[in-house]
């Protein structure tokens, strides 16, 4: 194993464990402060959005809003399927199939 990957895995493991055990150790007598609770509440939406949207709009590093951008087209369809079905397998299956077909065309 490469040493930089080893450090990354160790670091990720440590900070993940900190977030899972930290609250138990830290807040077990006081509860989570209100301001932190408010801020943390919207972290999942914010971080998922900032991962998804650029990867669909700038798949090659530049803004590409056109029919040639397969990621954007498959992403719009996948978002619709995810909204309707809430199902990982359906969304992944249909999204990947569209990617596959667009690559062949």
Partner 1 sequence: MQLSNLISGKNELAEEVWVALRECTPVVLGVVPFGITCGIMGLTAKMSGVETILMSVFVFAGASQFIGITMLGAGMTGWGIIILTTLLVNLRHLIMGSSLAPYMIRLPFPFQAFLAFFLTDEAYALTITRIHKDRYSVLYQLTVSTVLYLVWVLATVAGVVLGSYISDPLTWGLDFAMPATFLVLLIPLLADRISLIVFGMAAVVSVFAALYLPGKWYIIIACLIASLIGGLLEGDSENA
Q: Which parts of 9-28 interact with partner 1 (CB under 8 A)?
A: 9-13, 15-24, 27-28
Least distance to partner 1, CB of residue 47, Å: 4
For residues 77 and 98, the answer to whether their CB atoms sit within 8 Å is yes
Longest dimension (CA), the chain: 61
Task: Provide the minimum distance between the beta carbon of 80 and partner 1 in the complex, in angstroms, as a whole number.
Answer: 10
DSSP state of 25: H
Residue closest to 60 by CA, chosen among 51, 50, 69, 47: 69
Distance of CA 89 to the CA centre of its chain: 16
Q: How far apart are CB 66 and partner 1 at their closest, in Å?
A: 15
Binds partner 1 (CB under 8 A): choice among 60, 66, 69, 83: 83
| # residues near partner 1 by CB under 8 A | 71
What are the φ and ψ backbone dihedral angles of 20, each rounded to 5 degrees? -85, -35
**Subset of 22-61 contacting partner 1 (CB under 8 A):** 22-24, 27-28, 31-32, 35-58
């Amino acid at each position: 194993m490469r040493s930089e990957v080893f450090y990354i895995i160790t670091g990720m493991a440590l900070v993940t464990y900190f977030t899972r055990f930290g609250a138990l150790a830290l807040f077990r007598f006081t509860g989570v402060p209100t301001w932190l609770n408010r801020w943390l509440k919207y972290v999942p939406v914010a971080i998922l959005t900032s991962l998804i949207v650029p990867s669909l709009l700038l798949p090659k590093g530049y803004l590409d809003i056109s029919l040639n951008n397969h990621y954007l087209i498959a992403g719009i369809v996948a978002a619709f399927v995810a909204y309707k079905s809430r199902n990982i397998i359906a969304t992944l299956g249909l999204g990947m199939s569209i990617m596959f077909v667009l690559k062949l065309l």
